[in-house]
Amino acid sequence: MSVKIFNTAEVQDLLKAAANLKANGSNERLKTIVHRLLGDLFLAIDDLDMTPDEVWAGVNYVNQLGKDGEAALLAAGLGLEKFLDMRMDAEDKQVGNDGGTPRTIEGPLYVAGAEVRDHTSKIDLDEDDAARPLRIHGIVKDLNGSPLAGAIVECWHANSNGFYSHFDPTGAQSNFNLRGAVKTGADGTYEFHTLMPVGYGCPPHGATQTLLTKLKRHGNRPAHVHVFASAEGKRKLTTQFNIEGDPLIWDDFAYATREELIPPVTEKSGGAALGLKADSYKDIQFDLTLTPLVSGKDNQVVHRLRATVE
């Protein structure tokens, strides 16, 4: 079959009817988006001469993706989340609001509600014999380098199995294990006492990994730590840093790695005095530079469905 019917009046009318373009007083933006996306799909079916079997395989895939609860995971794996960052980067450059710590994707594994502590938080609540102690610290500052007092820094990361609390398939971790929030004092500094993470891998039997495997792609991320940072009058930053030396650093299935987000890891002693589980520990300094609001507004803060725990 090589028919092309997209540009016929019947198909164009069908698209308009499906999106209810004619109706007044309904959500104009939603109608515009549905009309466009559906049209792009119809056109792709025409152009690529997709068979009904192929289309139904896709429909069934979407059902399975929902059953597995992996739509946001697939969004990361297909570069959709990265693309949104690239657009925000381009917009920042256009209006001259670049120069802060680079953003990178949030991913699907944040949990809201970690208790906010002053300056320092020990976030390794569960024992993890395979993991070495890690101290993460830095200063939150503005574009002039002035420290930001009262800034909130949140972080979350995986354990030595690459699993995140709340999403751990073994059910082994407590609420908020390896997740924390702190508020900076006058000098703008923050600190987390935790354990070295290991890279994440997609659930091997989930819909995301199933598609990636068919594309001959892996579903793994290098070891990383997620960060949110916010302060009065500044835009909320969503970023991560990678653990230097991970072999997957430039082969991340979610495309989150950036040159500026690979801080050096240094070997230190004196961990016992800091309350770490061993005297020798790894130390990572990750400073955060926040950028100003644009016309009084945070134009980079993202609202999306997130897990919460009381």
Task: Name the closest residue to ligand MBD (Cβ).
Answer: 107
Closest contact distance (angstroms) between CB of 218 and ligand MBD is 12
Q: Is 107 in the site for Fe ion (CB under 5 A)?
A: yes
Q: Lay out the site mask for Fe ion across 66-105 (x = CB under 5 A, - = otherwise).
A: ----------------------------------------
Q: Which is nearer to ligand MBD, 76 or 151 (CB)?
A: 76
Q: Which is nearer to ligand MBD, 254 or 288 (CB)?
A: 254
To which residue do tokens 């152009």 refer? 47
**Other beta carbons within 10 Å of 54:** 12
Binding site partner of 196, from ligand MBD, Fe ion, none, Cβ cut-off 5-8 A by kind = none
Binding site partner of 282, from Fe ion, ligand MBD, none, Cβ cut-off 5-8 A by kind = none
Can you list the alpha helix ranges (DSSP code H) found in the chain?
9-18, 28-48, 52-67, 71-77, 80-95, 207-214, 271-274
Question: Taking contact as CB under 5 A, which single stretch among the options 107-115, 258-266, 271-279, 287-295 is the one that binds Fe ion?
Answer: 107-115
Q: Which is nearer to ligand MBD, 255 or 281 (CB)?
A: 255
List of residues contacting ligand MBD (CB under 6 A): 73, 76, 105, 107-109, 200, 221, 254, 256
Q: Which is nearer to ligand MBD, 107 or 263 (CB)?
A: 107
Closest contact distance (angstroms) between CB of 309 and Fe ion is 17
Tokens of 199: 């890279």
Binding site partner of 179, from Fe ion, ligand MBD, none, Cβ cut-off 5-8 A by kind = none
Residue count at the site for Fe ion (CB under 5 A)? Answer: 1
- CA 305 to chain CA centroid, nearest Å: 12
Alpha carbon of 255 to those of 164, 209, 249: distances in Å? 19, 16, 9
Per-residue exposure over 183-194, b if at least 16 CB sit within 10 Å of its own CB, e if not? bbeeebbbbbbb
Closest contact distance (angstroms) between CB of 191 and ligand MBD is 22
Q: Can you name the residues that pair with 284 across neighbouring β-strands?
A: 136, 265
Closest contact distance (angstroms) between CB of 82 and ligand MBD is 9
3-class DSSP state for residue 138?
A: strand
Q: Which residues contact 257 (CB under 8 A, 6 or more apart)?
A: 104, 222, 242, 249, 250
Q: Do β-strands 281-285 and 133-141 pair in parallel, antiparallel, or remain unpaired?
A: parallel
Q: Which is nearer to ligand MBD, 73 or 148 (CB)?
A: 73
Q: Which residues contact 167 (CB under 8 A, 6 or more apart)?
A: 109, 307
Judge contact between 306 and 159, C-beta under 8 A. no
Binding site partner of 254, from Fe ion, ligand MBD, none, Cβ cut-off 5-8 A by kind = ligand MBD
Q: Which is nearer to Fe ion, 107 or 188 (CB)?
A: 107
Residues that bind Fe ion (CB under 5 A): 107
